[in-house]
Structure 1
Amino acid sequence: MFTPARKKLLLAVLVLSFGVQTGLVYSDVRSEPLSEAALEGRVLWQRHACQTCHQFYGQGGFLGPDLTNAASRVDSTRLVSLLTVGSGQMPPLAFTDEESAAMAAFLREMDRPEIGRGELRMGTPGEGAGAQAAFERAVEAALGAGMPGGAASADGPEQDIAEAAAGFAAYRTRPCSACHFPFRDSPVGAPDLSLVAGALAPDSLDRVLAEGRPLMGMPPPVPPLDAADRDALMAFLEFLAANREQLEAATEALAADRSFDWRALPWWEFP
């Protein structure tokens, strides 16, 4: 049993602890080591009210994806497309080349641990932080090693690998990974891409890549795929189908290879 004196002492300790924590949090002065270009991008972020739909470090809206680590997963081609013509629910903003470069600089410089963490990041994309990053690393390694693809073309295996690599590049510059998960159907019903080449005839697959399947929830690709892009993407899908077992095993191994220092986690930043 606590005596009245001990209860008062316990309450005083709790109040003091709360005061110390509050002081640590609000005295955590942080500078903004942003370049001039990144500062221009921040002005655009604020002017267009991007935080209404997107989050940075856990703050913002939920209609669009969290952009804390967007620089790690969205390449320049895809970013320019998003900022100029939009995608899905995101409206076209008609950014100029200079504005797109400024926004890219802002996203890139905000994706740095010394500024803060808006999500619990278990490693980095280069260390296999998740299934998608691990999948892309596994594909890159397989293509680099010259792993054979599907049906061999008359031009030989080197040409097959080159075309599959071009298809992989086309895949990465579009938001395919927003709906399609590696080696399984996604919760929104997007199919496993490693099985698509065997499920659809070439002409049907070509039509899907050109027009999407709007009635089934798949919009037309943005930016659009021309005939050469579609041929390359089909070669990539055949490559996935031909090497599914090896790529799935490599993806699982890379996704499990994570390094994280729990001591470096700023616990007070997470509620």
Structure 2
Amino acid sequence: MSAYEAELVVSTREFVADGVLALTLRHPRAEPLPTWEPGAHIDVVLGPGLERQYSLCGDPADRSAWRIAVLREPDGRGGSAHVHEQVGLGDKVRVRGPRNNFGLEPSPRYRFVAGGIGITPILPMLAEAEAAGAEWTLLYGGRTRRSMAFGEELRRYGDRVTLAPEDESGLLDLPSVLDDVPEGTLVYCCGPGPLLDAVEERCPSGALRVERFRPKEQQDGVDAEFDVELARSGMTLTVAPGVSVLETVRSAGVEVLYSCTEGTCGTCETDVLDGVPEHRDSVLTPQEQESGETMMICVSRCRGRRLVLDL
């Protein structure tokens, strides 16, 4: 988990699609930025209580700048509107990261599926797959062609990229890319929840890697009381119903890194030393959840009476 935090300057500000604003961020003293790999995101601190995560979608080899793209969401929680309306050229923004829960694993073959602003983490993955000599294709959907960011950048890949605006071709033809996935192929998908749900239904779980911008819908469960022992702090705390582990440990004065508080960013991932977590996050793979080695303490709870955490 990176501890890097700095105020960066907005050096370019460009609309790359209808409602999608791309920002280039540089260090004010031209210092090199931390390295990152495709799939990484940064936390952008826009103000008190206004912190958002945006995927890096530039060139990982260029340490002089980070690029993000922000979709304006009229029904959002205010972060995208703030970026579009109040973050101008030359302004400074505080960032933390980068952090990566969606890294590109080595494979001879990939199938990429992106919906809307979900193209942002996929974009640098394509360049890495290309550089590695892997076979790959991209199916990229959006509401309209004008709403789909980075279409011009994608043209250089030719027919390996299929742009499928909904107003021209309907919903994405997922069977065309998912019904005959050869063994050893990895499928990477990012986009709105319904798209990810549809892909998860069709794709073998061992081949699929997804990133969600919003938490998965959770089945109703009972928030029972349980105890959490903090191995490093020497405290045992009671987590009350309706209160998260994160809130409980912070109320006890234990400093913990956190960001989204929705189980989507991975900032608060914590090692579990004993006990069985009840996972409610949208970050860990099913295999990682099954292992029970870590948990997102902003949303996940305990399946029994006691957890021991490395805090």
Same fold (TM over 0.5): no
Higher strand share: 2
For normalisation by structure 2, the TM-score amounts to: 0.24
Larger radius of gyration: 1
Whichever structure has more helix as a proportion of its residues is: 1
Higher relative contact order (CA 8 A, sep 6+): 1
Q: TM-score if structure 1 supplies the norm length?
A: 0.26
